[in-house]
């Protein structure tokens, strides 16, 4: 599910950066499952640039139609309910881009990602970003940003978290963070440890994850 | 040819039509599988009714299944009545029409007969096998039985098994035929009669299942047929009655009642999971076939849940599958009708497939 309704080509530049970062993490010719693949922008790019064997799951019919019409293998489905069908380690990478916060059970979804994929790549908007904190502190209202523009009563984003929250959850679930990339507001991409500084500065974060297998 | 029932059939005839030209490396062949009452006349006017081919909206020059690009094959199913051997043909053992002495056939038998045709045409690997409803069942059977003989499978408005409700509707149709005195235990051919009333009722009942409540309401509502007031009798007062009667009457001109019995039975028997230890996923394990599964939101005969069950089974074996539910209020028949979104999706899938396979122009 995208942060913005519809699949306008003029998606915010920072989301495109987010997809590019994900693409950089994926090895060539890998088997990839993109969960919440939208109109297939990332899958198409991965297929073109990295020669991946790509599949997708997308909730919105408009997105699925767009994907299949451009020759991508995508099924209409829901990250919350349809991931459990997939066998263990069926893919090299399972990608969840800007979708975690819209799932009903993010922890279960995350568990499925690292089960189905040898690695998982997860990106999400950071609710610990200073502007979000400031908005709540000063205005006393639910924060809205350029790419989180929904009102509280209409937002599909029902499970926001901060970078620190996410790191804690990974630790609890025995998930290793192999790479983390922070995208500050309008700034340069920073490869930094997901600590307090990242939690203040990162508007978005991208993580490369792996389940510790005993 | 051995049949699933244990009986053997042969020699037998397969009637088929082709459209377009097979290219030099024989990579552009698309096999279209027809539905219960369909036939091989996909994209040309029907020899009996004179009506346009049943899928002429989809198959033809410049259409989604572009006959300038693909070599399209469609064969009348085994047990049918448009040229392929069926119950109205002469049993060589007796010199009389088979009637109900024709062996019971299955979707698997239909596909085995089609495979012999594909062998005969010298096609090593089909680009795609595609079909709706019972055609979709054949597509699934193809993918499971001969996975190395096709690149892609496109089952539309189909299911991996026939539901209890669908078997029930078929039984109503069969009973209507067999209750017609002109059916004569299936041996009506020599008597020069046909169970037209029974077959017509079977068609009327079935036709309702191909539509949706919304489509019927939009088309007919409670409108009266050629009259201003109710007749207080049992004439076709309502347009919907008149329409159904017309569907029934015109159907009997082009279809054999015994074929209807045999083909509905074949659909009833279809259950891919049963043939694979009860788990549908087993049927698809390790499949190299790319699937594109399509359902329609208002189809209550082959509802989206049936397509989703196939998707889940394919996901469970990490199969390559696309799945789209098309929003439509036209019911099961939507796959035959003008549904631009469906046609766009299909075009995109075939185009992507041709690119991947490297189909050359014919």
Minimal Cβ distance to B352: which of A55, A65, A70: A70
Cα distance between residue B238 and residue B208, in whole Å = 15
pLDDT band at A143, cuts 50/70/90? confident
Count contacts between A and B (CB, < 8 Å).
64
- Going by their DSSP bridges, the two strands A31-35 and A91-97 should be labelled as parallel
Residue A147 to residue A164: CA distance in whole angstroms: 21
- Chain A contact for B167 (CB, 8 A cutoff): no
| B326 → chain A, closest CA residue | A61
Per DSSP bridges, beta strands A202-211 and A117-125 are antiparallel
3-state secondary structure of A171: helix
* A18 CB neighbour count, 10 Å cutoff: 26
Q: Is the dihedral of CA B275, B279, B280, B284 positive or negative?
A: negative
A51: closest chain B residue by CA: B356
Q: What is the tens place of the pLDDT at every residue in A183-197?
A: 888 767 878 788 898
The catalytic residues of B are 133, 299, 332
- What does the mean pLDDT of chain A come to? 87
B-chain CB neighbours of A32 within 8 Å are none
Average pLDDT over every residue of A173-182: 95
Span B222-236, average pLDDT:
91
Distance CA B324, CA A76 (A): 6
**Res B199 pLDDT > 70:** yes
What domains are there in chain B, each with its CATH number? Answer: 16-165+271-357 (3.40.50.1820), 172-264 (1.10.1740.110)
Instruction: State mean pLDDT over B18-24.
Output: 96
| B348 in A contact zone (CB under 8 Å) | yes
What confidence category does residue B208 fall into, taking pLDDT thresholds of 50, 70 and 90?
Answer: very high
| B317–A85 C-beta distance less than 8 A | no
Q: What ranges make up the beta strands (E) of A36-72? A: 53-58
What integer best gives the mean pLDDT of chain B?
95
Q: Is A196 exposed, middle or buried (0-12, 13-18, 19+ CB in 10 A)?
A: exposed
Give the residue carrying structure tokens 């189905």: A116
Q: Tokens for A131?
A: 């502007």
The structure tokens listed for B10 are: 């042969």
Question: Is a pLDDT exceeding 90 seen at residue B169?
Answer: yes
Mean pLDDT of the region B112-134: 98
Q: Given a cut of 90, is residue B175 above it in pLDDT?
A: yes
* 8 A C-beta contact, residue A74 and residue B349: no
Q: Which residues of B touch A89 (CB under 8 A)?
A: none
More confident call, B137 vs A154: B137
Q: B320, A43 in Cβ contact below 8 A?
A: no
List pLDDT tens digits, range B270-280.
999 998 999 99
| Over residues A29-58, mean pLDDT | 94
* pLDDT classification of B361: cutoffs 50, 70, 90: low
Least confident of A13-17, B168-172, B241-245, B302-306: A13-17
Binary contact (B345, A75; C-beta < 8 A):
no
Kindly state whether B309 is in contact with chain A, defined as any CB-CB distance less than 8 angstroms.
no
Beta strands B29-33 and B71-75, pairing class: parallel
Question: Is residue B253 pLDDT above 70, yes or no?
Answer: yes
Backbone angles phi, psi at B344, to 5 degrees: -65, -45
Predicted local confidence at residue A10, as pLDDT? 38
- Evaluate if residue B242 carries a pLDDT over 90: yes
Residue A214 pLDDT level (bands cut at 50, 70, 90): low
- Supply the pLDDT for residue A6: 34
The end-to-end CA distance of chain A, in Å, is 33
pLDDT (0 to 100) of residue A191: 80
Instruction: For residue A68, give the nearest of B311, B322, B327 by CB distance.
Output: B322
Nearest to A31 by CA among A82, A103, A86: A86
What is the rounded CA–CA span in Å between residue B210 and residue B200?
15
More confident residue, A3 or B67: B67
**Any CB–CB contact under 8 A between B352 and chain A?**
yes
The hierarchical CATH code for the domain A13-211 is 3.40.50.150
Nearest partner of B92 among B13, B196, B178, B185, judged by Cα: B13
Place of tokens 């041996």: B187
Whether the per-residue pLDDT at A14 is higher than 70: the answer is: no
B16-19 vs A202-211, strand pairing mode: unpaired
CA distance B124 to chain A (A): 24
Q: Residue A13 has what pLDDT? A: 45
Q: Alpha helices of chain B — where are they, by DSSP H?
A: 107-120, 134-145, 164-179, 196-210, 213-219, 239-254, 257-269, 280-284, 304-316, 340-357
Average pLDDT over residues A103-125: 96
Considering only CB atoms, which chain B residues are within 8 Å of A68?
A: 292, 322, 324, 345, 348-349
* ipTM score of complex: 0.82
- The residue-averaged pLDDT of A72-95 equals 93
Find the mean pLDDT for residues A93-115: 95
A38 CB contacts (<8 Å, ≥6 apart)?
Answer: A1, A2, A7, A58, A60, A63
Q: Is B357 on the interface with A (CB under 8 A)?
A: no
Region A13-17: mean pLDDT is 56
Give me the percent of chain A exceeding a pLDDT of 70: 91
pLDDT digits (tens, 9 = 90+) for B323-348: 999 999 999 999 999 999 999 999 99
Cα B337 to Cα B327: distance, rounded to the nearest angstrom: 13
Of all residues in chain A, the one with the smallest CA distance to B340 is A65
């Amino acid at each position: 599910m995208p942060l913005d309704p519809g699949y306008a080509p003029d998606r915010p530049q920072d989301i495109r950066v987010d997809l590019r970062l994900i693409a950089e993490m994926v090895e060539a010719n890998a088997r990839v499952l993109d969960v919440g693949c939208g109109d297939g922008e990332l899958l198409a790019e991965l297929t073109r640039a990295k020669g991946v064997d790509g599949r997708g799951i997308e909730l919105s019919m408009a997105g699925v139609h767009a994907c299949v019409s451009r020759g991508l293998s995508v099924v209409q489905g829901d990250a919350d309910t349809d991931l459990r069908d997939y066998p263990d380690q069926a893919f090299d990478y399972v990608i969840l881009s800007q979708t975690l916060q819209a799932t009903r059970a993010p922890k279960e979804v995350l568990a499925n990602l690292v089960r189905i994929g040898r690695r998982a790549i997860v990106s999400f908007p950071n609710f610990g970003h200073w502007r979000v904190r400031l908005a709540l502190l000063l205005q006393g209202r639910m924060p809205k940003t350029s790419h989180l523009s929904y009102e509280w009563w209409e937002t599909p984003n029902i499970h926001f978290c901060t970078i620190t929250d996410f790191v804690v959850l990974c630790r609890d679930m025995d998930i290793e963070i192999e790479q983390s990339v922070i995208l500050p507001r309008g700034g340069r991409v920073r490869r930094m440890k997901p600590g307090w500084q990242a939690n203040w500065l990162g508007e978005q974060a991208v993580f490369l994850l792996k389940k510790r297998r005993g | 040819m051995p049949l699933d029932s244990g009986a053997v059939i042969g020699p037998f005839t397969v009637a088929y039509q082709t459209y377009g030209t097979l290219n030099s490396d024989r990579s552009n062949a698309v096999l279209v599988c027809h539905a219960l009452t369909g036939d091989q006349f996909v994209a040309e006017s029907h020899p009996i009714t004179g009506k346009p081919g049943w899928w002429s909206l989809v198959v033809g020059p410049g259409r989604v299944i572009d006959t300038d690009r693909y070599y399209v094959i469609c064969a009348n199913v085994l047990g049918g009545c448009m040229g392929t051997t069926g119950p109205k043909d002469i049993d060589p053992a007796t010199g009389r029409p088979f009637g109900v002495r024709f062996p019971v056939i299955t979707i698997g038998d239909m596909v085995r007969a089609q495979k012999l045709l594909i062998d005969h045409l010298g096609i090593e690997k089909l680009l795609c096998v595609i079909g709706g409803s019972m055609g979709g069942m054949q597509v699934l059977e193809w993918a499971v039985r001969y996975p190395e003989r096709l690149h892609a499978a496109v089952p539309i408005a189909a299911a991996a098994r026939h539901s209890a409700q669908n078997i029930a509707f078929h039984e109503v149709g069969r009973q209507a035929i067999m209750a017609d005195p002109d059916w004569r235990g299936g041996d009506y051919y020599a008597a020069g009669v046909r169970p037209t009333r029974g077959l017509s009722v079977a068609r009327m009942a079935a036709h309702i299942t191909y539509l949706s409540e919304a489509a019927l309401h939009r088309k007919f509502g409670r409108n009266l047929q050629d009259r201003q007031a109710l007749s207080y009798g049992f004439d076709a007062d309502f347009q919907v009655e008149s329409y159904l009667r017309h569907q029934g009457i015109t159907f009997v001109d082009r279809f054999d009642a015994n074929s209807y019995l045999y083909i509905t039975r074949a659909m009833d028997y279809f259950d891919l999971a049963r043939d694979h230890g009860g788990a549908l996923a087993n049927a698809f394990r390790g499949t190299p076939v790319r699937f594109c599964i399509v359902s329609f939101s208002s189809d209550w005969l082959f509802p989206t849940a049936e397509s989703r069950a196939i998707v889940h089974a394919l996901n469970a074996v990490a199969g390559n599958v696309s799945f789209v539910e098309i929003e439509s209020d036209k019911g099961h028949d939507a796959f035959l009708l003008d549904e631009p979104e469906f046609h766009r999706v299909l075009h995109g899938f075939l185009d992507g497939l041709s690119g991947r396979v490297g189909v050359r122009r014919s």
